[in-house]
Chain A
Amino acid sequence: MSDPFPAVTAPLRAVFDEAEKQLSKAFPPHWNPLLNLGALGFFFYWIIIASGVYLFIFFGTGASKAYSSVEYMTSDQWYAGGLMRSFHRYASDGLVVVMLIHLTREFSLDRYRGVRWFSWLTGIPVLLFVYVAGVSGYWLVWDRVAQYVAIVATEWLDHLPFFGQPVARNFLSPDSLEDRFFTLMIFVHVSIPLIALMVLWLHLQRITRPRINPPRGLAIGAGLALVALSIVAPAVSQGPANLAEVPGAVGLDWFYLGAFPLLETLPGPATWSAAVAMLLIVGAAPWLPPLKRPAAAVVDLANCNGCSRCMSDCPYNAITMQLRSDGRPFEGEAVVDHSLCVACGICAGACPTSTPFRRLSDLMPGIDLPGRSIAAIRADTDREAARLAGGTRIMIFGCVNAGVAEACRSRAVGVVGLACSGQLPPAFIDYVISRKLADGVIIAGCAENSCLNRRGGMWTTDRVERRRDPRLRRRIARERVRLVWTGRRGLADLRKEIEALVVSLESLGSDRPVRDREIAASEPGRSDA
C-alpha cells in the first residue's frame, strides 16, 4: 500500500492534516468543510442550477440582447436577478474550489488507486465539464470579459486541425459577430452541467451512503457566506463587448480563467500538448503504479448466518447478500466482490461471530480479512496483554492508517494494529476488560469523519455507543473506553488521552472489583462462546 509519490503527497498531507486540525477547533467534526468537500460541491451545484434557471428566464439570447438583459437583471432587478447572478457566479467559484481541493486531498491520501480508480477516473470529466460550463457562462454575458474569453478560447481551438474556417474569425470585427454563437453557447451552458450530473451519478456508484448533502449547520454557514458576498460584492459586468476595441485590461475570474493568459501567450501546440499530457497523466494516475491490494475479505459459510450486517457496514458496496448455497437453514449468505473490496475489515468488525471469547473452536468469523484476521488480532491482544505491567494498564487498538498508536507502546500500554478502526468488533473491548487483560481500552483511528476507508470511525463510535450492531455490551463501563480520532498528526493528543484515561481509571479503581462481581453475577456464561 506504499504511496508512489511520497515527495509530493507527504507535504500535501501535512497541509491537509494541519488545516483539518485547525478547522476542527471551530467546526464540529461532522461540519468540518474539509471533510465535506463532495457534499459542499453538490450544495454549490444545486445553487447554480436554481439560480441559473431564474437567470435563463430573463436572459436575451443574441449579441445585441445578451448584455442588456444581464444588465437589466443586475441593475433594475438587483434584489432578485442581481442576487441570483451573484449566487450563480460565486457558487460556481465555490464549486471549482471544492472540486480541486477534493481531487488534491484524495491524491494526497492515496485514495485514488486500487478499487477507487473508478471514482477517480469518473471525477476527471466532471471537472472538465464544470470548467467548460463556467467558461461558456462567462461568454454569455457578452461584456469585455466575455469578449476576451471568446477570442482566446476560439483562437486556442483554432490550433486544432478540425475547423475548416478559423472559429476566431467570428470575432474579427463587430460586423462579423452572429447570434448563432449565443445559441450554441446557451446550449453548451445548459447541457454540459446536466451531463456532468449524470457522470457524478457514476462517480458515486461504487461507494455506499455517499454524503451528497452537507450537514445543515455547514449548509447554513456556506449559504449565509454566499448571500453576504453577493450583497457586499455583487457580480457585475465589465462594460459591453466591443470588437472594435481590444479588452486591454479585464478583471478575470481566476478560478475559471486563470489559464487563459497562458493560452493566449504560449504557443498553441505547447499548451495543447501540456493540456493533453496533464489529462493523460491524471487519468492514468491510478495505475502509475497500480495499487498492490491486500487480499479481499473472505466469507466462511460455516460461520455466516446471513445476518447482512457486513453488507450494511461495507463502505464500498463490495458485499451483497445472495441466496444460501450450502443448504443451511439461513435465508442468505454474504458474497464479496473482490474487485470492489479495499480490505478495510469493517465487515469483520460488524460480524457477530467475530468474538475473541471463542476458544472451543477456531476463531473463524463469518467474514474476515486474510491479511489481518480476527484470530491474529486476538493473538496480538493476548501477547500484548501478557507483556503489560504496572498499576493501570491500557490497551490501544490502533488503525494502522492513523499510524500514531505504535509510538505509545510502553510497559503499561499495549498496542494492537487494525486495518481500520472499524475492523474491531466491540467484543474485543469486552474481552480485554472482563478478562482483566487491561484496565482500559483506547480505539485510535483517523481524524473524526475522515476515515481513510470511509465510515470506520463512524461505525466504531456507533457500536461503542451501543447505537449500532454489534454493540458494546452493557456490562462494560463506558468510562473504561475512549475513542480517539486524531489521525496521523495526533500523537500528542493520543498521549494526552492515555493520561486522561489513566487518571479516570484510577478514580474508578475502588469500584472495579465490585463492578466485575456485578458483571459476573448479571451475565453468567455469556462471555465464552
Chain B
Amino acid sequence: MLRLRNFIGQGAFYVAAAAVTGYLAAHPIYHQVPEGDAQIKLALQHGGARVADCRRFTAQELAKMPSAERRPNDCSRERIPVAIALSVDGQTIYEDVLQPTGLSRDGASKTYRKFLVPAGRHVIEARLRDTKRGVGFDYEKRLQAELKPWQNLAIDFNAEQGGFLFR
C-alpha cells in the first residue's frame, strides 16, 4: 500500500528529474564565437591547371591507336597545386598551397577555413594562383567591409563567375 511518504518521495524524484532534463535541454548557453567578433569563412573547390599542356597527336601516333581510342589531343590528367592567400587589413591570416585531390592528382584543390576577426571596418583581400606562372596571382579580390558582431562573411570561389565571391 502506497503511503503519503512514498508519493512525496516519488514526486520529489520526478520534479528533480524533470528539472534537470528541462535545464540541460537548453542550458547552459554555449558561446561559439565571442561577442564582438565576426567570422570570415573561406570555402574553395577549384582545380588548378594541368601539369602539362595538351598537344595534338601526330598522324603516325593516331594510326597506331586502336580506332576506338583515337582522340585528337594528348592531355595529362595531373593538375598543379593551387596557391591561396587571405589577408585582413594587410596582414596575411591564411596562406597555403592546396594539393590536387585524387589518386592521380587530377581532382580539385579544396579548402574550408574559418577565421575570427574583431567586428568593425576591415579590408579583406583574397588571392589565388592556379597556373604555372610562378609569381603573382591569377585572381585577386579586395573588399572593404564593416563587419558586424557575429556576422559571417563567406568567401567562395568560382572561376566562371570571375573568381572570388564575397557573400
- Is the C-beta of A244 less than 8 angstroms from some C-beta in chain B? yes
Partner of A247, one of B24, B32, B107: B32
- Is the C-beta of A199 less than 8 angstroms from some C-beta in chain B? no
Bound Cα distance A168, B111 (Å):
11
Partner of B152, one of A166, A169, A244: A244
Distance in Å: Cβ of A37 to nearest Cβ of chain B: 13
- Is the C-beta of A366 less than 8 angstroms from some C-beta in chain B? no
Q: Which of A26, A175, A224, A264 lies at the interface centre, i.e. has the most chain B CB atoms within 10 A of its CB? A: A26
Partner of B21, one of A90, A173, A174, A243: A90
Known contacts A245-B150, A248-B32; A168 and B26 CB within 8 A of each other: no
Q: Is the CB of B14 within 8 A of A224?
A: yes
Q: Which residues of A contact B107 (CB under 8 A)?
A: 164
> From A250, which residue of chain B is reached at the shortest CB distance?
B30
Enumerate chain A interface residues (CB-CB to B < 8 A).
23, 25-28, 31, 33, 89-90, 93-94, 97, 148, 155, 158, 164-166, 168-169, 172-176, 221-222, 224-226, 228-229, 232-233, 235, 238, 243-255, 261, 264
> From B1, which residue of chain A is reached at the shortest CB distance?
A28
Q: Which residues of A contact B167 (CB under 8 A)?
A: 172-176, 244
Q: Which residues of B contact A155 (CB under 8 A)?
A: 112
Distance in Å: Cβ of A142 to nearest Cβ of chain B: 16
> From A174, which residue of chain B is reached at the shortest CB distance?
B167
Q: Which residues of A contact B38 (CB under 8 A)?
A: 246
Bound Cα distance A174, B154 (Å):
10
- Is the C-beta of B29 less than 8 angstroms from some C-beta in chain A? yes
B1-40 contacts to A (CB < 8 Å)? 2, 5-6, 8-10, 12-15, 17-18, 21-22, 24-27, 29-35, 37-39
Distance in Å: Cβ of A93 to nearest Cβ of chain B: 5
List the 9 closest pairs (A to B, CB-CB), nearest first: A26-B9, A251-B26, A173-B167, A225-B14, A173-B154, A229-B18, A248-B150, A248-B33, A233-B22
Q: Is the CB of B110 within 8 A of A249?
A: no
10 residue pairs of the A-B complex, CB under 8 angstroms, read A27-B13, A33-B13, A89-B25, A158-B112, A165-B45, A174-B167, A221-B14, A246-B151, A248-B34, A253-B26
Q: Is the CB of B24 within 8 A of A254?
A: yes
Bound Cα distance A253, B30 (Å):
10
> From B102, which residue of chain A is reached at the shortest CB distance?
A164
**0 or 1 for each of B146-162: is its CB under 8 Å from A? (1 = yes):** 00011110101000000
Q: Which residues of A contact B112 (CB under 8 A)?
A: 155, 158, 166, 168-169
- Is the C-beta of B41 less than 8 angstroms from some C-beta in chain A? yes
Q: Which residues of A contact B21 (CB under 8 A)?
A: 90, 93-94, 97, 229, 255
- Is the C-beta of B43 less than 8 angstroms from some C-beta in chain A? yes
Q: Is the CB of B29 within 8 A of A251?
A: yes
The dominant DSSP class at the B interface is mixed
Q: Given A235-B25, A245-B152, 4 other A-B contacts at CB below 8 A? A: A225-B14, A228-B18, A248-B34, A253-B24
Total A-B residue contacts, Cβ distance less than 8 Å: 126
Q: Which residues of B contact A168 (CB under 8 A)?
A: 43, 112
Q: Is the CB of A249 within 8 A of B17?
A: no
Q: Is the CB of A166 within 8 A of B110?
A: yes
Distance in Å: Cβ of B129 to nearest Cβ of chain A: 21
Bound Cα distance A28, B154 (Å):
59
Distance in Å: Cβ of A262 to nearest Cβ of chain B: 11
Enumerate chain B interface residues (CB-CB to A < 8 A).
2, 5-6, 8-10, 12-15, 17-18, 21-22, 24-27, 29-35, 37-39, 41, 43, 45, 107, 110, 112, 149-152, 154, 156, 167
Known contacts A93-B21, A233-B22, A245-B151; A252 and B43 CB within 8 A of each other: no
Q: Which residues of A contact B41 (CB under 8 A)?
A: 172
Bound Cα distance A226, B37 (Å):
39
Q: Which residues of B contact A97 (CB under 8 A)?
A: 21
Bound Cα distance A449, B25 (Å):
31
> From A233, which residue of chain B is reached at the shortest CB distance?
B22
Q: Is the CB of A246 within 8 A of B43?
A: no
Q: Is the CB of B24 within 8 A of A246?
A: no
Q: Is the CB of A169 within 8 A of B32?
A: no
Q: Which of B5, B12, B152, B167 lies at the interface centre, i.e. has the most chain A CB atoms within 10 A of its CB? A: B152
> From A163, which residue of chain B is reached at the shortest CB distance?
B110
Q: Which residues of A contact B151 (CB under 8 A)?
A: 244-246
Q: Which residues of A contact B34 (CB under 8 A)?
A: 248
Q: Which residues of B contact A238 (CB under 8 A)?
A: 26
> From A158, which residue of chain B is reached at the shortest CB distance?
B112
Q: Which of B26, B37, B107, B156 lies at the interface centre, i.e. has the most chain A CB atoms within 10 A of its CB? A: B26
> From B107, which residue of chain A is reached at the shortest CB distance?
A164
Partner of B25, one of A23, A31, A93, A232: A93
Distance in Å: Cβ of B105 to nearest Cβ of chain A: 14
Known contacts A166-B45, A249-B31, A264-B32; A90 and B25 CB within 8 A of each other: yes
Known contacts A90-B25, A155-B112, A248-B33; A169 and B10 CB within 8 A of each other: no
Q: Is the CB of B18 within 8 A of A248?
A: no
Q: Which residues of B contact A233 (CB under 8 A)?
A: 22, 25
Distance in Å: Cβ of A45 to nearest Cβ of chain B: 16
Known contacts A166-B45, A222-B14; A249 and B2 CB within 8 A of each other: no
Q: Which residues of A contact B10 (CB under 8 A)?
A: 26-27, 31, 221
Q: Which residues of A contact B33 (CB under 8 A)?
A: 246, 248
> From B24, which residue of chain A is reached at the shortest CB distance?
A254
Known contacts A169-B45, A225-B17; A243 and B152 CB within 8 A of each other: yes
Known contacts A26-B9, A232-B22; A172 and B32 CB within 8 A of each other: no
Known contacts A33-B13, A232-B22; A172 and B43 CB within 8 A of each other: yes
Q: Which residues of A contact B156 (CB under 8 A)?
A: 169, 172-173, 176
> From B2, which residue of chain A is reached at the shortest CB distance?
A28
Q: Is the CB of B152 within 8 A of A246?
A: yes
